[in-house]
A and B are shown apart, each in its own frame.
Chain A
């Protein structure tokens, strides 16, 4: 689409070229929210013009503007609207896909790295960097003599829209073995995921030298990106496993817009997420910084814990509502904590455990109480969840293979996911769920500009 066409079709196109002015006029509360999002997306210095740079209709940022309420958890709020021209800037201290508002679809793809030496590994980083930079911006592929295979799969047509695409590159513990001389630079907490008591891990869906989290408004955009990357990395990468998922889109009804999306157990997921737009909080909890005692190259990265968690949905659907709510510690429809004001309660209300030491209102083994006891000692074990629901097919027993592609980010894997999961071991919810795959990865720091590339710091640190 040409820029002029774009402006023509945009129903909210500003009457003047002064884009910045136009955003102050119409609806007020949504605008506040949008500007906050733009700041968090690293666009502060560019203002709204940053989006316009990529030829976007400025009002298309309204995909997020009707998400009212500034209190918390933008990362997991349900995506409201498709927006093919939404583009997130690739360059920055941090990669996209962590504090970026969660798109409607996401997949985690892990790979074995086939590169045989550091030179090939470096070529892999540069190739990934270049492909991602192109894919998240969108555009056209060069045409080719039809007697050759085309450069592009073509599944998105001749012009690739950014479609909110983010591709987040993370490395697994196994990349730091003897192959590439990276052992000295291994992030301190990076390790091979080991099974927890309720896990039934399937080796073919675990671990990987490298992981790509690919998120976009539509799965097709994600598949297109994945195929592009595979085509550009023969001999360097081999797919190990892949799990995609979606987030239920909220209907535009006023009653239900104000909350986290639901998982396949019907509960809102992400309620107590730390606020992804709170930069200071993100630096403390999510992004690796000087205080985390990690190798210098890792600054600006974060740990990703990924888990494929099967849900036994038929059994869950045969469980009384009261029991379901006791298992989670929240009301199913509103998402309000059980300790709240009954029907008036809201998802954002803070659970009150202090006046309920024996668990008469919120059982002591309720999921949210174990995961986040809200004590000073556990504040550091908060993590940023960014999950997707998956549905794969049918098991041999005729039951649906559905569940949660659980993805969470934290600056300290031990204090984050591992500590939380240990507290959850033995929870009543285990009757209805079973983790079957996943892995631990370290999300590389971002590439700050065209002279930088993803993985450069890691290579330089071990040169």
Chain B
């Protein structure tokens, strides 16, 4: 993890206005993990910017194959930080909305961002006419980075983000509707799980003081999910190689993923209360 200007961390610290927590978790105890989480988000944002440059550049160069290859690894950074990225609803819509979000679907003029480009790259198998969409995505991602840098992270959002990510997985990843043309759902799946696990890891010591069994259970379910995901990695020794098409995930494994994902969503939904946050 890189170092960031002091003011970012200071910003994250100074604006933590915490409600009175349960006796056992002091509000000040949350400051460190929240600051660490902001660093994690900024790290991913920087990678998102860099990789979006390459991805949109490939589209503007008309390099279909390269653009297809960069689609999933670029998105992963967005999927990891969704609880924060989603705070900017306008950008979330223009960056990550799916055609279902629009009355006229793919043809809707407001349909932009990753999934509009996905449709072109994997359904039409063409970069034709996508320059403006590519530029729009790049602009949005830059805008997002600036806004997040200036953002004070609300601790409720950070702590609740783990549950939010698992809800995201339960709602759109297990069903395989997120990346319906590229079938790269497992990348996003892993991205959401990474993001949730990062949040959990940061607050784990505090949660362990409250309920050690809870921590063990959550760890176990994260391990379960990751073990099942790992079976679908193209190269077990190379995380960069990514995942096979979601079409290749058996029904039995989709169910095997749904189980621990749902338990994680239930368990992580109690994390805010456990840490005394509203």
Footprint of B on A, CB under 8 Å? 112, 114-116, 145-149, 231, 234-236, 238
Contacts and interface: CB of A to CB of B under 8 A. Distances in A.
A147 B255 contact: no
B263 A234 contact: yes
Interface in B62-83: none
Contact of B262 (A116, A149, A235): A235
A238 B255 contact: yes
B221 to A, nearest CB: 8
A362 B32 CA distance: 83
6 contacts: A112-B255, A114-B262, A116-B256, A149-B273, A234-B263, A235-B262
Given A147-B273, A147-B278, A234 B266 contact: yes
A234 B266 CA distance: 7
B167 to A, nearest CB: 12
Contact of A116 (B259, B273, B278): B259
A348 B277 CA distance: 64
A418 B278 CA distance: 56
Interface of B: 22, 221, 255-256, 258-260, 262-263, 265-266, 269-270, 272-274, 276-278
Given A114-B255, A147-B278, A235 B269 contact: no
Nearest to B262: A234
B254 to A, nearest CB: 9
Contacts of A112: 255
A145 B272 CA distance: 11
Given A112-B255, A114-B255, A238-B255, A147 B262 contact: no
Q: What are the 4 closest A-B residue pairs judged by CB atoms, nearest first?
A: A148-B273, A114-B259, A147-B273, A235-B263
A256 to B, nearest CB: 45
Contacts of A116: 256, 259
A236 B259 contact: yes
B55 to A, nearest CB: 35
B262 A145 contact: no
Contact of A147 (B256, B260, B266, B272): B272
A122 to B, nearest CB: 16
B259 A148 contact: no
Contacts of A235: 221, 259-260, 262-263
Given A231-B266, A234-B266, A147 B276 contact: yes
B269 A149 contact: yes
A238 B175 CA distance: 12
Contacts of B263: 234-235
Given A112-B255, A114-B258, 6 more contacts: A114-B262, A115-B259, A147-B278, A148-B272, A148-B273, A238-B262
A145 B273 contact: yes
A119 B241 CA distance: 37
Nearest to B163: A149
A238 B258 contact: yes
A146 B277 CA distance: 10
A115 B258 CA distance: 11
A114 B258 CA distance: 8
Nearest to A144: B273
Contacts of B262: 114, 234-235, 238
B270 A238 contact: no
Given A114-B255, A116-B259, A149 B270 contact: yes
Contacts of B277: 147
A112 B278 CA distance: 35
A112 B251 CA distance: 11
A148 B266 contact: no
Nearest to B274: A148
Contacts of B273: 145, 147-149
Contacts of B276: 147
A71 B168 CA distance: 55
Contacts of A236: 259
Contacts of B269: 149
B258 A148 contact: no
A146 B259 CA distance: 27
A360 B241 CA distance: 75
Nearest to B270: A148
A338 to B, nearest CB: 48
A80 B232 CA distance: 56
Nearest to B221: A235
B17 to A, nearest CB: 16
Nearest to B19: A147
Contacts of A149: 269-270, 273
